[in-house]
Amino acid sequence: MIDLTVAAIPGFFATMGIEHRVLERRAARSGATAGNYERNDTLASLSMGVGSLVIPLAMAKLLEPVTPGRGRYAKALVGTAVGAAALTTVADAAARHDGDGRLARWARKVRPSAGVAAVSAGVVAASTGWAARTTGRRLFDRYGRSHDLGTGLLATLGAVFAWDAIYYWNHRIQHESRWLWAIHVVHHSSERYNLSTALRQPVADNFGMFVPYGLLGALGFRPALIETARGVNLLYQYWIHTEAISKLGPVEEVFNTPSHHRVHHGSNRRYLDRNHGSILIVWDRLFGTFQRELDEEPVVYGLTKNIRTFNPLRVATHEHAAILRDVARSTSWRERLGRVFRGPGWSPAVPSQPTPAPATTAA
């Protein structure tokens, strides 16, 4: 079947051209904003858009041989993860108990690479295995075929609604777990905000574990209908990446809008990790993550620590590289796992030092 997002590519370019002209005219009257197009930023976003279509397909082929339950080398991958984890654990213990001895020096040399190997192999094994077992086709054949919902209008609307509900939680956890944030951060890396930003999509979904959209198959939605829901969801998200549209009155109470999504892309403290919905904003209202765009606080786009690069390779990998550096420096499994799975910016608490007793003067 036709991928709706691929079919819409001519429309993407046409609407970006219209938006560019509208914003240029506005800039001539009242000055440029972060919504205006900047050549290098736009090229980076378009590059990431192309990459998001091509790279996951290529990665799926490359990862298939090591996918647990499918690939011929899956046991080798799992064995690598287990062996590296055991070696890291031994090195942690040796470094703690041998002080500055020879064993401790060996442990400190081995531990960084062993820890990185254990975490990397474990993540690849878990993510590929999870994805293979939760596809819409697999869950439909196993659980949903007995109550097939067909392809009518109600089934289509139901699939779009169900996808939107799952999307909210997946989007939210991508902001709350550094492992998943490393995938999603690509989309937030631009300090500008226009329709080209919508195309700045992640390329490393293969390495994430999400609430499976395949659950729609278990509910009786056919795999083709699940793909349609995916396409509708992505197309809806495209038009809300703009400053050319202001607030939309009563529509704002139910649906996600450019105003709500501008908040989501804000690095302002008030706006961080808000408005995760895609089509409907009611999920954020229900689960406590809603924030209106305030006239008195303009949105500052980008990251809390911007990466200052237009290089697509760095945009795609900078947070993964930072995670691996932090894992290599970690000295315990608590810290290692925290650096990967806890929130972005998490670091282990430094034990407080006891306050020295005040000096006394002899009488």
pLDDT over 80 (residue 321): yes
Q: Which pLDDT value is given to residue 360? A: 40
Q: Which pLDDT value is given to residue 350? A: 62
Mean pLDDT for all residues in the chain = 94
Q: Which pLDDT value is given to residue 111? A: 97
pLDDT band at 218 (very low <50, low <70, confident <90, very high): very high
Instruction: Tell me the mean pLDDT in the region 263-282.
Output: 98
Q: Which pLDDT value is given to residue 363? A: 30
Check if the beta carbon of residue 123 is closer than 8 Å to that of residue 80: no
Instruction: Tell me the mean pLDDT in the region 299-304.
Output: 97
Sign of CA dihedral 310, 314, 320, 326: negative
pTM of the model: 0.93
pLDDT band at 4 (very low <50, low <70, confident <90, very high): confident
pLDDT band at 1 (very low <50, low <70, confident <90, very high): low
Token readout for 145 is 């075929």
pLDDT over 90 (residue 354): no
Q: Which pLDDT value is given to residue 2? A: 75
Instruction: Tell me the mean pLDDT in the region 102-116.
Output: 95
pLDDT over 80 (residue 140): yes
pLDDT over 70 (residue 271): yes
d(CA 333, CA 316): 26
Instruction: Tell me the mean pLDDT in the region 129-151.
Output: 97
Local structure of residue 352 (DSSP, 8 states): P
Q: What percent of the chain has pLDDT over 70?
A: 96
pLDDT digits (tens, 9 = 90+) for 29-61: 999 999 999 999 999 999 999 999 999 999 999
Instruction: Determine the 3-state secondary structure of 255 from DSSP.
Output: strand
Chain center to CA of 162: 20
Instruction: Tell me the mean pLDDT in the region 261-277.
Output: 98
Q: Which pLDDT value is given to residue 229? A: 97
d(CA 319, CA 344): 10
Cα–Cα distances (Å) from 163 to 171, 185, 288, 289, in that order, read: 12, 21, 20, 19
pLDDT band at 349 (very low <50, low <70, confident <90, very high): confident
pLDDT over 50 (residue 214): yes
Instruction: Tell me the mean pLDDT in the region 154-178.
Output: 98
pLDDT over 50 (residue 359): no
Q: Which pLDDT value is given to residue 351? A: 56
Total residues belonging to the chain: 363
In which residue are the tokens 């198959």 written? 217
